[in-house]
Structures are given as structure tokens and as C-alpha cells.
Amino acid sequence: MAKGTTSCFCFLSLFLVILAFHLAEAAVPAIFVFGDSTVDVGTNNFLPTSQAKANFLYYGIDYLGSVPTGRFSNGYNCADRIAKLFGFRKSPESFFHLINETGSFQNRSFKKRILQGVNFASGGSGILDSTGFQLFTNVVWLREQIQQFSTVRGNITEILGPEAAAKMLSKSLFLISVGGNDLFEYQLNVSKNDPNLPQAQELIAILSSTYQIHLRSLYDLGARKFGIVSIPAIGCCPKERGFGNGECNKEMNDLAQAFFSATDILLQNLTSQVQEMKYSLANLYEISHEIISNPGASGFTVAQTACCGNGSYNAQSPCNLDAKLCPNRRDYVFWDSIHPTQRAAKLAARALFNGGANYATPVNFSQLVED
């Protein structure tokens, strides 16, 4: 056997050994993450013009070494917590981070690390291509995230071969958390009296049909197990309370609930068309609303005010070194004006992982990956 062929064979063998070892530890071979800031682990750090960033203190103050990684949290976020429940240490690294650290798609380290998954999520993004640019200048929209996954899929196929790659992807978890920014941007345009704005019911229909296209694209690329996280009770976040008299914004909560119902229907329709697709739809609205309505039951004492910020409900200015920071972060449901603390994210992840039908349908996340 030629020297070059021997080296190539040893390199491929090493990849397969690493993958086999990983499979023995985790419930799924890999996790691929898509969506917005609820699951972003630093994608936007690599977008110089983006206004949706969290790579500065006080973000990350409770992360290992108090490092602001780009997560919109005081520590770990929902993607990390879900990944940990599946046997991983945390969420896989962001697509841009892997490229930046390894140098290229063809780098051996890049190819080795993508076998455990990749995080493509981008803070500020939404289901629609237009979402995010009005508020944040530059984000990676969901359609582009799926295109990035297509590149990763090509690399996995090159490493494992077509048959093994297809099997690996079919057993992997595709975690998607998106939609909130589409509703926030719609709210902004309503306040501007935009005459071309669709009615709320029409908006939900547009989001649903577009979302179905994105999910079908992932299916066509090899995804089979979908963990879909719906929109939480966004009308009850500190930002929304600050707009009114401190009560939850009913209109925004109604939109979030309507989105969940529409997503439930589209997933039922989609799985009737593609028989191999399995999904768990997490009712994050129900989970978050329970925690916010009765924080004491979950060990929280503050559910209306953000831990980091300034102004009304500590939600009228950014979370940064000029902000007012709460010392007792475990007591707070919300970290900043929108995002949960790492403790709240942990509780939500547990509920969707092994909770009942009121938290996830038709099965929970742990049941989703059972063969």
C-alpha cells in the first residue's frame, strides 16, 4: 500500500474510532442547531456590522471563567442545556467559530469536530429572510443557516461515505428555535402604522408556510429527527412589560400561541408527506408561562424584572458594563430584557426533554431519539 494511501486510511480510521467512542456516550451522534439568540453560541461575533451581539460583559459572567462567548445569557443557554441532557458537554460550536479556528472546510480538525454537530443559530434572525436586518443590520437568516449545513453535510459525506453519513444524520438531533424575532419585528412595524403590513392571522400563515419550506429543505438534506422549540410567552418578558403598565402584552402572547398552533398543524401535515420524519414540538409558551406566573414553584423570586439592564423593569437599556446587575442571578427568570437566565433555560430544557404532553407533542425530546 502506498504511503499516501496508508496515511489517508489511518486518518479515516481515526475519525471512525472517534465517532464510535462518541456514540457510546451520547444519546445521539450529533446535534445540529438552527435559529435565533435563544440558541446562538457566538455566530454573530463573526459579523462585524451586526448589532445583535453578546460578546461583552456582563454577558457570560457565570460562564466558565466569566467569558462572554456570544451567548445571550449570564452563562449557558437553552441549546447548551438540551445538548447536556443528550450527553454532550454543551452545544456544539458555531459554524463560523469552527471555520475561524481551523482555517477551512478541508482542515482535519474541522472535519473531526463537525461529527459531533454544529451550531448555525444567529441572534436576531427569524423564519423570514427579511427579519433581523431592520433592527440588527446583519444576521444569518434561517435559509442561509440551512445552506451552511449543506456544506457541513458534504464534509460529513466525504468523511464517512454516503451510506454511513446518511445513517449518522438520520439519528442526529436537529434542534430549531426560531420565530420570536419575526413577531417582535411585526410589532415594531405595527407601531409605525405600516399600511402594507399583513393582518396578524395572515402573518402567522406566511410564517407557517415559510417554516415548512425550511423544514422540508433540512429533511431533503438528511434530517429525520426534529426538536422544534416554539416561541415562549414573549409578551411577559421585561421589555414588553416596560411598554405598558407592567402587565403582560396580550397581543404578543396571542401571536406566540397562534404560532405554536400553526406549527403543530404544519408538522402533522409534513410528517404525513414524508414518513421517515419524526418530531417533538416543545410548547415553550406553556413552559415559560408557568414559570413566570408562579416563579416561587420553580425557586425564583423575580419574574418581571431583568437581572441586567437599566430603566423600567431593568429592560430599557442594553446589558453591558454600564448596566445595573443583580447579585442574585439564580433568583431571576430573565437575564436581560428578553432572554432567560441560564437557570431558567435549564428548567425549560428539562421540561421539554422529559415532560408530559402539555410540554411537548407528540413525544418529548428524550422519546424522540429512541429507536
pLDDT tens-digit series, residues 10-37:
444 444 444 444 444 679 999 999 999 9
Note whether 63 and 69 are within 8 A (CB): yes
Instruction: State residue 25's pLDDT score.
Output: 62
Instruction: State residue 371's pLDDT score.
Output: 65
Residue 144 has pLDDT above 70, yes or no: yes
Considering the chain, what percentage of its residues have pLDDT values greater than 90?
Answer: 86
Is 230 among the residues known to form the active site? no
Residue 102 has pLDDT above 90, yes or no: no
Residue 168 has pLDDT above 50, yes or no: yes
Instruction: State residue 238's pLDDT score.
Output: 98
Q: Is the peptide bond between 92 and the residue preceding it cis, with omega within 30 degrees of 0?
A: no
Q: Which three cell numbers stand for residue 160?
A: 464517512
Q: Where are the domains of the chain?
A: 28-284+343-368
Average pLDDT over residues 343-357: 97
Average pLDDT over residues 116-144: 97
Amino acid letter, 207: L
Residue 341 has pLDDT above 50, yes or no: yes
Is 220 among the residues known to form the active site? no
For domain 28-284+343-368, is the CATH number 3.90.1570?
A: no
Is 66 among the residues known to form the active site? no
Sorting pLDDT into bands at 50, 70 and 90, what band is 6? very low
Sorting pLDDT into bands at 50, 70 and 90, what band is 104? low
Instruction: State residue 3's pLDDT score.
Output: 44
Q: Which of 97, 214, 289, 339 is catalytic?
A: 339
Kindly report, residue by residue over 306-330, the tens digit of the pLDDT.
999 999 999 999 999 999 999 999 9
Average pLDDT over residues 52-60: 98
Sorting pLDDT into bands at 50, 70 and 90, what band is 239? very high
Instruction: State residue 106's pLDDT score.
Output: 62
Instruction: State residue 101's pLDDT score.
Output: 80
Three-class secondary structure assignment of the chain = CCHHHHHHHHHHHHHHHHHHHHHHHCCCCCEEEEECCCCCCCHHHHCCCCCCCCCCCCCCCCCHHHCCCCCCCCCCCHHHHHHHHCCCCCCCCEHHHHHHHHCCCCCHHHHHHHHHEEECCCCCCCCCCCCCHHHHCCCCCHHHHHHHHHHHHHHHHHHHCHHHHHHHHHHCEEEEECCHHHHHHHHHHHHCCCCCCCCHHHHHHHHHHHHHHHHHHHHHCCCCEEEEECCCCHHHCHHHHHHCCCCCCHHHHHHHHHHHHHHHHHHHHHHHHCCCCEEEEECHHHHHHHHHHCHHHHCCCECCCCCEECCHHHCCCCCCCCCEECCCHHHECECCCCCECHHHHHHHHHHHHHCCCCCEECCCHHHHCCC
Q: Which residue has the cell 414559570?
A: 291
Biggest alpha carbon distance in the chain? 76
Q: Which of 37, 172, 208, 337 is catalytic?
A: 37
Note whether 63 and 77 are within 8 A (CB): no
Note whether 361 and 264 are within 8 A (CB): yes
Instruction: State residue 148's pLDDT score.
Output: 97
Q: Which of 40, 97, 336, 337 is catalytic?
A: 336
Residue 192 has pLDDT above 50, yes or no: yes
Residue 202 has pLDDT above 60, yes or no: yes
Round to the nearest angstrom and report the end-to-end CA distance of the chain: 40
Residue 157 has pLDDT above 50, yes or no: yes
Average predicted confidence (pLDDT) for the chain: 92
Average pLDDT over residues 63-80: 98
Which residues, other chains included, contact 237 with Cβ-Cβ below 8 Å and sequence gap of 6+?
Answer: 315, 334, 337, 338
Instruction: State residue 78's pLDDT score.
Output: 98
Considering the chain, what percentage of its residues have pLDDT values greater than 70?
Answer: 91
Average pLDDT over residues 70-86: 98
